[in-house]
């Protein structure tokens, strides 16, 4: 079964791994996991400026164990084009992802796309369980008396 997962994946943390692993599990024994990485423009419109650019975010996602294939999405706001290309059986939406799953399911049905939209409920709680928390921690850190000699 083909499972499609989506997200920004800006600064990676264990929550991203949990989401990708849980997504793949839904596809059963012969599951293939396809990941759509959000474009810089989309991220800027929907939440904030990404720290890591889209090409580098894609490169890292492709290296992760559960991931079989990964693509950058479209920049034009048409989220269904990439679904038409991948033709997934399942599309997963993460625990804290801001997508209305009923609305998304209706849009897919109206286009005769057969993917089933499933919310991944599992959320990994830890000190730095979102990219925003990592960014905020860096912003707050006083590096003045820290040895930074080996950081170029």
Ligand X SMILES: Cc1cc2nc3c(=O)[nH]c(=O)nc-3n(C[C@H](O)[C@H](O)[C@H](O)COP(=O)(O)O)c2cc1C
Ligand Y SMILES: Nc1ncnc2c1ncn2[C@@H]1O[C@H](COP(=O)(O)OP(=O)(O)OP(=O)(O)O)[C@@H](O)[C@H]1O
Ranges within 28-47 binding ligand Y (CB under 6 A): 47
The token pair that represents 116 in the structure block: 């089933």
Q: Cα(first)–Cα(last) distance of the chain, in Å?
A: 45
Phi, psi angle pair for 45, to nearest 5°: -70, -40
Ranges within 47-76 binding ligand Y (CB under 6 A): 47
Selected range binding ligand Y among 24-32, 105-113, 130-138, 140-148, rule: CB under 6 A: 130-138
Of 33, 32, 39, 51, whose CA–CA distance to 7 is shortest? 39
Selected range binding ligand Y among 63-71, 72-80, 110-118, 127-135, rule: CB under 6 A: 127-135
Q: Does residue 129 bind ligand Y (CB under 6 A)? A: yes
**Residue with the two structure tokens 């492709």:** 62
Q: Please indicate if the annotation marks 92 as binding a ligand.
A: no
Q: Does residue 74 bind ligand X (CB under 6 A)? A: yes
CA 13 from chain centre, in angstroms, equals 12
Site string for ligand X, 98-137 (x = CB under 6 A): xx--------------------------------------
Ranges within 25-64 binding ligand X (CB under 6 A): 36, 38-39, 42-43, 46
We find the least distance from the C-beta atom of residue 73 to ligand Y, in angstroms, to be 13
Q: Annotate 6-70 with three-state secondary structure.
A: EECCCCCCHHHHHHHHHHHHCCCCCCEEEEEECCHHHHHHHCCCCCCCHHHHHHHHHHCCCCCEE
Binding site for ligand Y (CB under 6 A): 7-10, 15-16, 18-19, 47, 94-97, 123-124, 129-132
């Amino acid at each position: 079964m083909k499972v499609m997962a989506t997200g920004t994946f800006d600064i990676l943390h264990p929550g991203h791994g949990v989401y990708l692993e849980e997504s793949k599990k839904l596809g059963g024994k012969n599951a293939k996991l396809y990941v759509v990485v959000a474009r810089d423009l989309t991220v800027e419109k929907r939440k904030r400026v990404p720290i890591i650019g889209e090409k580098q975010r894609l490169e890292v996602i492709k290296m992760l164990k559960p991931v079989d294939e990964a693509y950058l999405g479209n920049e034009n706001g048409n989220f269904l084009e990439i679904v038409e290309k991948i033709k997934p059986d399942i599309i997963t939406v993460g625990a804290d992802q801001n997508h209305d799953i009923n609305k998304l399911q209706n849009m897919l049905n109206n286009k005769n796309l057969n993917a089933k939209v499933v919310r991944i409920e599992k959320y990994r709680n830890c000190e730095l369980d979102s990219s925003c928390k990592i960014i905020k921690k860096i912003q707050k850190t006083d590096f003045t008396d820290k040895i930074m000699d080996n950081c170029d």
